Amino acid sequence: MGLRAITLDLDDTLWPVWPAIHRAEARLHDWMREHAPATAAAHDVAALREIRAAVARDLADQAHDLSAMRRESIRRALLAAGDDPALAVPAFDTFMAARQQVELFDDVVPALARLAARYPIVALSNGNADVRRMPAIAGYFSASLSALDLGVGKPAPAAFAAACARAGCAAHETLHVGDDGHADIDGALAAGLQAAWVRRPELPPPAAPQRTPQHVVTGLAELVTRLGC
């Protein structure tokens, strides 16, 4: 099939997500030691993570808004310790700034340069990383969409339809690239896109998709070669 655009997952496709999350959580706790010492004393990083998990269960209907859930988990921790819950806003800003400090896989920048020279690339993520805040790669994207922007996340067909619309191409002309077998691959194929499943050897093996993607690759460098970019 003809290919005219690419939609691209972020976490665990362009960088490993958990090191970034762990660094951001550590930075948040450091901030609390200075600005909300009672909360820092009452909750270590692991305890804050447990509160975050409880919020995810309580607010399952807001699963598309990871930022709201993180803010609420911070607010609950502050309240429980007797600190000012209004500190949740600057505390979350501190977390988010650190969240954008990712370590790109080695093949990402050269591969994006090759792909962007031929296709519009639209970031499509269920997470709250923001490529617009990442100078090393921001210029390779023609648009960036998140589940928060759309009110729905992958694998919902509406998420893929919105990304195709931003790319200016029909679904069958668009290749979605991602690591999650269900959200990325099954979702993209069900929405009529082509799909490339990224299985990076540096990461634990992801759950396999139910559908068969057009490409299975170990990284973006291999995808560039397959596409002849």
Q: What is the pLDDT of residue 63?
A: 87
Ranges assigned E (strand) in 33-120: none
Q: What is the pLDDT of residue 2?
A: 87
The domains of the chain are located at 5-16+104-227, 18-99
182 burial via Cβ count (<10 Å: 0-12, 13-18, 19+): middle
Mean residue pLDDT of the chain comes to: 97
Segment 150-206, tens digit of pLDDT: 999 999 999 999 999 999 999 999 999 999 999 999 999 999 999 999 999 999 998
Phi first, then psi, for residue 43 (nearest 5°) are -135, 115
In this structure, what token pair is assigned to residue 183? 């959200």
Domain 18-99 has CATH 1.20.1050.10: no
150-165: burial string, b at 16+ Cβ within 10 Å, e else: bebbbbbbebbebbbe
The whole-angstrom separation of Cα 9 and Cα 121 is 10
Q: What is the pLDDT of residue 189?
A: 98
pTM of the model: 0.95
Segment 9-23, tens digit of pLDDT: 999 999 999 999 999
User: Are the C-beta atoms of residues 223 and 196 closer than 8 Å to each other?
Assistant: yes
The whole-angstrom separation of Cα 109 and Cα 193 is 24
Q: What is the pLDDT of residue 1?
A: 57
Fold observed for domain 5-16+104-227: Rossmann fold (3.40.50)
Q: What is the pLDDT of residue 38?
A: 98
Task: Work out the average pLDDT over 118-133.
Answer: 97
Segment 184-195, tens digit of pLDDT: 999 999 999 999
